[in-house]
Amino acid sequence: MAQTAAQREYAEERTSAIANPMPLGLIILALTTALVGASFAHFLIPNTFVGVSTVIAPMLIYGGVIQVLAGMWAFRRNHILPATLFSAYGGFLIAFGVLFLPVAGLLIPFGADIVAFNHAIGLLFLCWTICSVVLLVATLKSNMLLMVTLVCLSLAYLFLTIGEFANANRALLTIGGWLGILCALIAWYEALAMILRSTRSPYQLPTGESETPPLTSRPGYGREPAI
């Protein structure tokens, strides 16, 4: 019995020694969402297709692979919500990026059928919107800044979904794009606040979270990390 308790304590010490991957995941989420948002909002980018084509590499490598790794590290720390968010969003970005890869040839079947292409993208966005809302519900009593980030992320992809189903309606896609940029700004702020807090910097950003996190009663069932 004593040996089991000692083993559990050692495992908990090893887990707590792993750095919190949440700032990394948030920075990646912010950068990739900003790029996607700027593409659809035509912010400094001439048109959506050119915009998305130029951010394929960041989507696949930075937004995809590294964000999935951040999610895996969060799983290791038993932070279920950010782990699910980063892993799921990273996988979504990989799928979205591969779709536009010329070598993959996934756009060939659509040919000149623009309506079918728009509806296919809309279906992809709709599925991710549902995933975002599921994650949003999980943040309601967990983490205020993460909740606001997911509100903007869900609304951004909701407008992108409706815009694509409306045959690439420019106004709706633009609204979705700007909401994505807003989501990115909030996620960057959140990441900076976490880094400043973890490094005990004299400069702290207000987050609306208490400084002292509540204690958990059972090991292995920890709450989500405070900002």
Identify the pLDDT of residue 11.
47
User: Do the beta carbons of residue 37 and residue 177 sit within 8 Å?
Assistant: yes
Q: Which domain holds residue 28?
A: 20-198
Residue 9, pLDDT above cutoff 70: no
Q: Which of 2-6, 96-100, 199-203 has the lowest mean pLDDT?
A: 2-6
Contact (CB, 8 A) for 64 and 94: yes
Q: Above 80 in pLDDT, residue 50?
A: no
Q: What is the DSSP string of 105-142?
A: TTTGGGTT-HHHHHHHHHHHHHHHHHHHHHHHHHTTTT
Per the CB < 8 A criterion, the answer to whether 184 and 152 are in contact is no
35 or 55, which is more confident? 35
pLDDT (tens digit per residue) in 110-158: 777 888 888 999 999 999 999 999 999 998 877 788 999 999 999 999 9
| 172 close to 159: Cβ distance less than 8 angstroms | yes
Contact in structure between 51 and 42 (CB atoms under 8 Å): yes
**How far from each other are the two terminal CA atoms of the chain, in whole angstroms?**
36
Which comes out higher in pLDDT, residue 48 or 199? 199
In the predicted structure, residue 214 carries a pLDDT above the cut 50:
no
Which residue do the tokens 């659509």 mark? 110
How many domains is the chain partitioned into structurally? Answer: 1
Whole-prediction pTM value? 0.81
- Looking at residue 216, its pLDDT comes to 40
Mean pLDDT on 41-57: 74
In a domain, 210, yes or no: no
